[in-house]
Structure 1
Amino acid sequence: MSLRCLFVVQGEGRGHLTQAMALRHMLQDAGHQVAEVVVGKSDNQAVPTFFREAFEAPVTNIESPGFVSDDADRSVRPWATLRRMLGRTPTFWHSLDTLDAAVDRRDPDVVVNFFEPLMGLYAVTHSPSVPVVAVAHQYMFLHPDYRFPAGRWGRRWAARAFARLTAWGASRRLALSLYPAPDRPRDTLTVLPPLLRPGVFRQPQGENEPFFLVYILNSGYANEVVRWHEQNPGVRLHCFWDRPDAAPVEAYDETLTFHQLDDEKFLRLMARCRGLVSTAGFESIAEAMYLGTPVQAVPVAGHYEQRCNAVDAVRAGAGVCSTQFNIGRLRTALGRGAEQRGRFRRWVRRGRCQFVRELEAAVREFPAEPTPPLPMEDRILETA
């Protein structure tokens, strides 16, 4: 049976977007189709062109909660983020209506949610009559083997509660991981390798060139990169950012070049560079590990999930983590990527066929009658 899928994607950064692109190829190869993609973005962001072009299906935007950065666009402000989310509640209700219209319009066999929180709220308010499969690395937060950074119990609790919210009503939660871990059937939690784009597997091997690659989620970190570069002008850097008003390519000088986000160019350079310095997005770390490129992970200040990603990357042997774009620290990680590349590649390849099987099983096993939503007091207790 050919499945008709609806994708709902949290569009902040690039990780969930590229995961959706990867799964779309797997589904297509298996004879299934993606009927529509709904992308949640905050009001100051646009869906990248490379993502729209990757789908033959329509791509619909909805307004979704997003982080609020400081004035320098360097760190996340948690309380300002919460206030903004509460203040935009009417807008998010409208987004839920748009999402409901997409479900009615496409009548999918399965909804695949890439960590979009509004899909969790939709499950609470609308009780979908089709199975929902939630896919994200953040579901590893719910696994007992996951190791959080020391301290910050409040943020740990919040990260776990938010992960549960995004997967509310999901019949399966697929936790993407940098290393194998046992499944948790009683928690509907299956551990799978990262969802890497087909372009990663097409990159040549052994073509190292004398430059470092930099990726910054928040453009405010560009000044930090420039300061390090001016102290080390002989080190060639290619830096990718997501600054809306930037030109496709801006040469700062002969050895520092800024590039607007372009996934194919980014992959080509990652396969050839000596090392990657990046804000601690899961997908960039996973791609670098597959290519054997050592990583320096720099979590965005105040972004607890990125702090978790950085610690997890070190645990997986990807490289080092730091609090600043001091690219000199990456030199201590050179050679580490090759040590774990073979093991990580086997883990990725072994799990690729399982993604489609999980979606097919979710449709096959879904009950004919949807489960009624829990009373509000029970929802609060279970989320905690």
Structure 2
Amino acid sequence: MSHPPRTGDAMALRCLFVVQGEGRGHLTQAMALRRMLRDAGHRVAGVVVGKSDDQAVPAFFRAAFEAPVTDVESPGFVSDDADRSVRPWATLRRALGRTPTYWRSLSALDAAIKRHDPDVVVNFFEPLMGLYAVTHSPSVPVVAVAHQYMFLHPAYRFPSGRRDKRWAARAFARLTACGASRRLALSLYPAPDRSQDDLAVLPPLLRPGVFRQPQDRSEPFILVYILNSGYADEVIRWHEQNPTVPLHCFWDRPDAAPVEAYDETLTFHQLDDEKFLRLMARCRGFVSTAGFESIAEAMYLGTPVQVVPVEGHYEQRCNAVDAVRAGAGVRSTQFDIGHLRAALDRGSTPEARFQAWVRQGRRRFVRELEAAARRPVAGSLGPRVAERILEAA
């Protein structure tokens, strides 16, 4: 049902969040934006999280919202048996084989939009929302938010080679933003907006907990985050050759205990939102798979990083190159933590400049959503929408 924005309480908006649940980056971005909207007098009426059938929505995410959080099954990456690398063709085969399931997810998304009747839908890079725009032509305004929309900006520098991967990354970004009246590209550095493409460049959306951390403490341990638990073997091998270096490692292994002490100087932790931030603020350096959000949090806290892209994950390779460009630290292909020494020798990341960039964006996010809610929604995307996506990519 389409309706004009509510005008009471300085146009208090009712928002619906649609969030990709792969990793934790989009989840924490949604948490950060929810706080900004609440502070501005708006509210999130509901949240839909797209996830693979073997994933669980973290408890800290559910606890961050007063609104109901609905899970739907969505396409996700398939890892190899060692849980180390992404298998692109297996990912595609599974997505095609689960098409009926995704149709049911689209129906659940449609039901959520009708039930919550939002003034604006905020899509955090969930592909189902792009597909929904193609199949349902929603009358509610949609704003797409993700760092991947920087792939569509001429100032973005991709890794050299693999033009096929670059084309696919751009095409997928356009697909997720189908039907969006505005695309908000999160970036580690400023870049001009592209009004002709409805593309605005904004700083990362950092969780409120990041701003509460002390930034004048440094302890001798190294913090490690591995998106795929298969990388634990690499961490253990390096540790056994360097047993005097204390390591705290976070992973997402469903059958693991909340805390597992490998020995006196290596401890594994299940994902814990607040504990992770506390340790990041205190650590000497940070080694991680190349997730955008973790890099941005470390830069804000002035923590030097070593990023290790997940094998076969082109987007993470892009993030690693971008992190080095932004001055966050160094990149490598393995969890050989010795590479971090180069970043430590150089000193802290340029946090003062980065912190100023982050502060500039806090009101802009709210203004973008308010403007989108006032903007008339375009009509049907038409039968050639997929063709146009591929041509533009």
TM-score scaled by structure 2? 0.96
Establish whether residue 361 from structure 1 lines up as the match of residue 361 from structure 2: no
1:162 aligned partner: 172
The alpha-carbon deviation at position 382 of structure 1 amounts to 4.0
1:103 aligned partner: 113
The alpha-carbon deviation at position 366 of structure 1 amounts to 2.4
How many aligned positions are there?
A: 382
CA distance in 1 between counterparts of 2:130 and 2:220 reads 45
The alpha-carbon deviation at position 335 of structure 1 amounts to 5.4
8 Å CA contact 1:63, 1:92 repeated in 2: yes
Aligned with 2:85 (options 75, 81, 84): 75
C-alpha offsets along residues 163-215 of structure 1, whole Å, 9 cap, x if unaligned? 00000010000000000000000000000000000000000011100100000
8 Å CA contact 1:317, 1:337 repeated in 2: no
8 Å CA contact 2:77, 2:86 repeated in 1: yes
The alpha-carbon deviation at position 374 of structure 1 amounts to 2.1
CA distance in 2 between counterparts of 1:155 and 1:374 reads 27
8 Å CA contact 2:175, 2:389 repeated in 1: no
Aligned identity (percent) is: 82
Establish whether residue 47 from structure 1 lines up as the match of residue 38 from structure 2: no
Aligned with 2:148 (options 129, 134, 138): 138
1:235 match: secondary structure: coil
Establish whether residue 199 from structure 1 lines up as the match of residue 209 from structure 2: yes
CA distance in 2 between counterparts of 1:224 and 1:161 reads 33
Establish whether residue 113 from structure 1 lines up as the match of residue 118 from structure 2: no
The alpha-carbon deviation at position 352 of structure 1 amounts to 1.0
CA distance in 1 between counterparts of 2:66 and 2:152 reads 34
AA aligned to 1:23 is L
AA aligned to 1:215 is Y
Alignment of 1:1-384 (within 5 A): 1-334=11-344, 336=346, 338-367=348-377, 370-376=378-384, 378-379=387-388, 381-384=390-393
CA distance in 2 between counterparts of 1:324 and 1:205 reads 28
2:32 match: secondary structure: helix
8 Å CA contact 2:247, 2:266 repeated in 1: yes
2:7 aligned partner: none
8 Å CA contact 2:192, 2:201 repeated in 1: yes
What residue ranges of structure 2 are gaps of 5+ in the alignment? 1-10
The alpha-carbon deviation at position 347 of structure 1 amounts to 0.4
C-alpha offsets along residues 311-360 of structure 1, whole Å, 9 cap, x if unaligned? 00000000000000000110110154634111100000011110000000
AA aligned to 2:195 is P
8 Å CA contact 1:295, 1:320 repeated in 2: yes
CA distance in 2 between counterparts of 1:19 and 1:351 reads 13
CA distance in 2 between counterparts of 1:178 and 1:95 reads 33
CA distance in 1 between counterparts of 2:347 and 2:241 reads 26
8 Å CA contact 2:304, 2:349 repeated in 1: no
With 329-338 and 167-176 compared, the bigger mean Cα shift is at 329-338
| Cα RMSD, aligned residues only | 1.0
C-alpha offsets along residues 265-309 of structure 1, whole Å, 9 cap, x if unaligned? 000000000010000000000000000000000000000000000
